[in-house]
């Protein structure tokens, strides 16, 4: 990542005696105030445009060695202004602006322990983290984090419960006051006054993932615990050696959904790129030997309908070449699928000729995406890691999809929550080791993303979502139409999602009651609405060839962007995104709709004024409906300019996709 402007620090020193130090955002609208109350509890509050949004909220850590939740005093405060612009290796935006004020409050506990709280205030939100400088105390066992968000009103929260396996749940909305369960982070809030807030964390490296729960009117943090050998939660949540800093706790504060999805606070809170030359990391669209297994027409393990055979892969590679798709994933190429007890990441089944396929892929200019399913045995994976990545690298493989089918995984520390500290350490080791071998990661069953891709852009995409596969086999019939209209404002806000869009055949002979709740145009719209720099077109080549004209959009749509914006949307009802292809004048617009058919208005004001473009519009036909007629669509071309406003209809479960390119002169 190229830093365009270096930091512009303005150091302002507050007198140590200032008992309520304060900083405001660069535009002056968001203000954060700090105090230590009469009991020595550190607290902060936040206002926006002079209205208090977060009332005095407590900070602190309960530790086995020392209770650090009260008994503090301020010893020093300093604040500075940062203005920076940096370039992403890939992303929704090429250039990201980071402007904020930072305030460091140095605290001394009555026991003598020193703890700083570092705050940042941006135009679109706030963040803070705890920092323990080097001192006499050498280590801390954190048993609870008392950080809270005491919102001034009873906002509506979109959430999934914290025990949702791999975050693969349906998001629901309920007032904060009615949240009786502990929730996964993030949580998206529809504020009582019409604004939005997004509560999450950034830069999670050596700490348990945060969960959130309501207690005494405040949203509080529940850290994922360590487990004992019988899988019972221990008091310990994090073991830390000083000096250390916790992840950032962050809240995006937005006037509307457009501002919320445009916020880049989470990325800005992560460190700059740690990979010296990241030019080998390439966004790619891919197809794969995958959907067949979920639809049960192929198997992962060897047998009469084995998916990952040399012949099948050759067919997929040639199809990819013919249609300009950059890569092909193959699952079930390696030993271990019969029992899931021990997978080998260097030994293929004997009907998979890795040497032949890697040479073929190379000659076709198509990448192979490797697959390392661990079955949740992270320790076994770590034992094989260097050999596995050397093997893939030797076969020209630069991206691997990993998998951990089990929310409690076997780490080097025994059975642990994948989002506990031990799991977080494992995922970090994977990313850092993969980088050494020039391998990008698509992590399935991950810990919720927190923006690490700024530092490690080889962490390209992750699951952590109820993805398309549920529409193949879920006993509840498949995800409701509203699901994909909620994700862009919840899960996708935390980082790229390997949702696997692009189903073109809706019949499911194995599970006739289960299906994709979508029209074909909805499946196209997802390529723009759900961002991923590794974007899978999940269906079988033969199904794509049934609708080659619609498949043309998948061939055409990029997955790396210059700029991105929400055109319009209501969480749970519909959304329309527009994105400009990186390094080009082409724009792509995608929309997805929930159950109720609707007319939408799309102003093309994002286009360059005075220029003429050709828009290829892929839209639901008059009779389209996800239940009765998902294949009814129309494709038309129209000459457009920035002054035009498109009026289009999205069917029930429908969608739209538009490619807008400068007209040939
Ligand atoms: C679950 C993953 O989400 C899916 O994509 C994969 O095919 C299976 N595990 C097998 O690894």
Q: Are 42 and 34 spatial neighbours (Cβ–Cβ below 8 Å)?
A: yes
Centroid of ligand 1 to alpha carbon of 340 (angstroms): 12
**CB-based burial label for 121 (10 Å; 0-12, 13-18, 19+):** buried
Give which of 419, 421, 432, 338 is closest to 382, Cα–Cα.
432
Task: Check residue 18 and give its pLDDT.
Answer: 62
For 282-556, give the CATH class.
alpha beta
**CB-based burial label for 231 (10 Å; 0-12, 13-18, 19+):** exposed
DSSP bridge partners of 584 = none
Alpha helices in 127-256 (DSSP H): none
Q: Which residues are catalytic?
A: 469
Q: Are 454 and 270 spatial neighbours (Cβ–Cβ below 8 Å)?
A: yes
In whole angstroms, what is the distance from residue 514 CA to residue 517 CA?
9
Centroid of ligand 1 to alpha carbon of 63 (angstroms): 38
Residue 328 C-beta-side C-alpha neighbours within 13 Å: 29
Centroid of ligand 1 to alpha carbon of 279 (angstroms): 28
Give which of 468, 524, 506 is closest to 650, Cα–Cα.
524
In whole angstroms, what is the distance from residue 221 CA to residue 232 CA?
20
Report, in this order, helix, strand and coil percent for the chain, each rounded to 5: 20, 40, 45
269 is written with which tokens?
A: 């809170």
For a mutational test of ligand 1's pocket, the pick from 308, 405, 465, 474, i.e. the residue with the most ligand atoms closer than 8 A to its C-beta, is: 405
640 is written with which tokens?
A: 């457009």
What number does the ligand 1 atom closest to the CA of 166 have?
A: 3
What number does the ligand 1 atom closest to the CA of 300 have?
A: 10
Task: Check residue 612 and give its pLDDT.
Answer: 98
Centroid of ligand 1 to alpha carbon of 496 (angstroms): 17
What number does the ligand 1 atom closest to the CA of 294 have?
A: 7
* DSSP designation for 235: S
Measured CA to CA in angstroms, residue 602 lies from 500, 578, 580, 658 at distances of: 26, 10, 15, 11
- Burial per residue of 632-662, b for 16 or more beta-carbon CB atoms within 10 angstroms, e otherwise: bbeeeeeebeeebebebbbbbbbbbbbbbbe
**pLDDT < 50 regions, the chain:** 1-17
What number does the ligand 1 atom closest to the CA of 444 have?
A: 3
Q: What angle do CA 423, 427, 429 make, to 5 degrees?
A: 115
Instruction: Please state the pTM of the whole predicted model.
Output: 0.97
Task: Check residue 15 and give its pLDDT.
Answer: 39
Largest interatomic CA distance in the chain = 77
Q: Are 566 and 257 spatial neighbours (Cβ–Cβ below 8 Å)?
A: yes
Q: Are 142 and 61 spatial neighbours (Cβ–Cβ below 8 Å)?
A: yes
Task: Check residue 239 and give its pLDDT.
Answer: 98
Chain centre to alpha carbon of residue 624:
31
Which residues does 7 contact at the CB level (< 8 Å), separation at least 6? 82, 83, 84
At 393 the three-state DSSP class reads helix
Give which of 456, 439, 339 is closest to 388, Cα–Cα.
439
The residue whose CA is least distant from atom 8 of ligand 1 is 403
Task: Check residue 406 and give its pLDDT.
Answer: 86
In whole angstroms, what is the distance from residue 142 CA to residue 242 CA?
12
Which residues does 79 contact at the CB level (< 8 Å), separation at least 6? 11, 12, 14, 21, 23, 101, 102, 103, 104
Centroid of ligand 1 to alpha carbon of 429 (angstroms): 21
592 is written with which tokens?
A: 């997805």
The residue whose CA is least distant from atom 11 of ligand 1 is 373
Read out DSSP for 181-235?
Answer: S-EESPEEEE-TTS-EEEEEEE--SSSPPEEEEEETTEEEEEEPPPB-TTSPBPS
Chain centre to alpha carbon of residue 130:
24
**CB-based burial label for 474 (10 Å; 0-12, 13-18, 19+):** middle
For 4-268, give the CATH class.
mainly beta
What number does the ligand 1 atom closest to the CA of 290 have?
A: 7
For a mutational test of ligand 1's pocket, the pick from 292, 300, 331, i.e. the residue with the most ligand atoms closer than 8 A to its C-beta, is: 331
Residue at token pair 């045995």:
377
Q: What angle do CA 259, 485, 577 make, to 5 degrees?
A: 50
In whole angstroms, what is the distance from residue 428 CA to residue 385 CA?
13
Report the length, in residues, of the chain: 665
3-state secondary structure 489-540: HCHHHHCCECCCCCCCCCCCCCCCCCCCCCCHHHHHHHHHHCCCCEEECCCC
The residue whose CA is least distant from atom 10 of ligand 1 is 373
Residue at token pair 């479960």:
653
The residue whose CA is least distant from atom 6 of ligand 1 is 403
Centroid of ligand 1 to alpha carbon of 403 (angstroms): 6
What number does the ligand 1 atom closest to the CA of 467 have?
A: 3
315 is written with which tokens?
A: 């067919």
Centroid of ligand 1 to alpha carbon of 82 (angstroms): 42
360 is written with which tokens?
A: 């073929």
Residue ranges lining ligand 1, Cβ < 6 Å: 290, 331, 373, 403, 405, 444, 463, 469
In whole angstroms, what is the distance from residue 555 CA to residue 350 CA?
33
For a mutational test of ligand 1's pocket, the pick from 403, 406, 536, i.e. the residue with the most ligand atoms closer than 8 A to its C-beta, is: 403
Domain assignments of the chain as residue spans, ordered by start: 4-268, 282-556
DSSP bridge partners of 581 = 561
The residue whose CA is least distant from atom 3 of ligand 1 is 444
Read out DSSP for 528-571?
Answer: HHS--SEEE--S-HHHHTTSHHHHHHHHH--S-EEEEEEEEEET
């Amino acid at each position: 990542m190229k830093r365009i402007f270096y930091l512009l620090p303005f150091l302002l020193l507050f007198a140590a005696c200032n008992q309520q130090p304060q900083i405001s955002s660069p535009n002056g609208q968001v203000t954060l105030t700090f105090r230590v109350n009469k009991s020595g509890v550190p607290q902060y509050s936040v206002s926006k445009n002079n209205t208090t949004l977060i009332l005095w909220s407590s900070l602190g850590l309960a530790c086995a060695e020392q209770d650090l939740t009260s008994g503090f005093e301020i010893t020093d405060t300093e604040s500075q202004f940062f203005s920076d612009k940096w370039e992403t290796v890939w992303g929704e935006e090429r250039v990201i602006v980071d402007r904020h004020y930072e305030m460091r409050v140095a605290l001394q506990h009555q026991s003598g322990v020193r703890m700083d709280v570092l705050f940042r205030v941006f135009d679109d939100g706030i963040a803070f983290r705890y920092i323990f400088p080097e001192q006499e105390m050498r280590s801390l066992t954190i048993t609870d984090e008392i950080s809270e968000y005491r919102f001034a009103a009873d906002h509506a929260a979109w959430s999934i419960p914290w025990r949702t396996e791999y975050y693969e749940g349906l998001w629901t909305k309920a007032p904060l006051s009615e949240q009786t369960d502990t929730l996964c982070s993030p949580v998206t809030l529809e504020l009582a006054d019409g604004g939005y807030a997004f509560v999450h964390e950034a830069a999670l490296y050596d700490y348990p993932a945060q969960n959130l729960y309501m207690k005494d009117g405040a949203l509080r943090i529940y850290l994922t615990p360590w487990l004992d050998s019988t899988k019972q939660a221990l008091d310990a949540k994090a073991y830390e050696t000083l000096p250390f800093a916790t992840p950032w706790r962050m809240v995006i504060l937005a006037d509307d959904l457009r501002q919320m999805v445009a916020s880049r606070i989470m990325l800005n809170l992560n460190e700059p790129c740690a990979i010296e030359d990241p030019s080998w990391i390439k966004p790619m669209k891919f197809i794969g030997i995958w959907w067949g297994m979920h639809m049960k027409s192929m198997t992962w393990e060897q047998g009469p309908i084995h998916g990952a055979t040399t012949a099948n892969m050759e067919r997929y590679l040639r199809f990819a070449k013919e249609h300009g798709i950059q890569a092909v994933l193959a699952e079930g190429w390696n030993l271990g699928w019969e029992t899931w007890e021990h997978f080998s990441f260097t030994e293929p089944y004997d009907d998979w000729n890795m040497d032949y396929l890697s040479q073929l892929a190379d000659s076709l200019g198509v990448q192979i995406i490797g697959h390392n399913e661990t079955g949740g045995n992270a320790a076994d994976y770590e034992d094989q890691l260097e050999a596995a990545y050397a093997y893939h690298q030797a076969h020209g493989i630069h991206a691997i999809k990993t998998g951990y089918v089990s929310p409690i995984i076997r780490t080097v520390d025994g059975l642990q929550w994948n989002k506990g500290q031990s799991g977080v350490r494992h995922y970090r080791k994977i990313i850092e080791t993969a980088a050494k071998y020039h391998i990008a990661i698509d992590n399935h069953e991950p810990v919720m993303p927190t923006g690490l891709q700024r530092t490690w852009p080889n962490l390209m995409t992750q699951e952590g979502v109820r993805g398309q596969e549920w529409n193949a086999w879920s006993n509840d019939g498949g995800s409701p139409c509203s699901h994909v209209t909620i994700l862009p404002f919840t899960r996708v806000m935390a980082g790229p999602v390997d949702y696997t869009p692009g189903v073109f055949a809706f019949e499911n002979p194995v599970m006739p009651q289960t299906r994709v709740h979508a029209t074909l145009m909805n499946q196209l719209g997802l390529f723009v609405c759900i961002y991923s720099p590794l974007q899978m077109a999940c269906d079988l080549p033969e199904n794509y060839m049934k609708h080659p004209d619609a498949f043309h959009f998948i061939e055409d749509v990029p997955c790396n962007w210059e700029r991105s914006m929400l055109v319009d949307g209501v969480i749970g009802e519909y959304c329309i995104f527009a994105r400009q292809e990186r390094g080009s004048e082409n724009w792509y617009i995608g929309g997805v709709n929930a159950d109720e058919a609707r007319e939408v208005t799309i102003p093309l004001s994002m286009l360059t004024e005075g220029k003429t473009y050709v828009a290829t519009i892929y839209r639901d036909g008059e009779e389209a409906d996800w239940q009765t007629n998902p294949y009814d669509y129309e494709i038309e071309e129209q000459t457009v300019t920035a002054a035009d406003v498109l009026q289009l209809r999205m069917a029930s479960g429908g969608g739209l996709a538009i490619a807008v390119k400068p007209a040939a002169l």
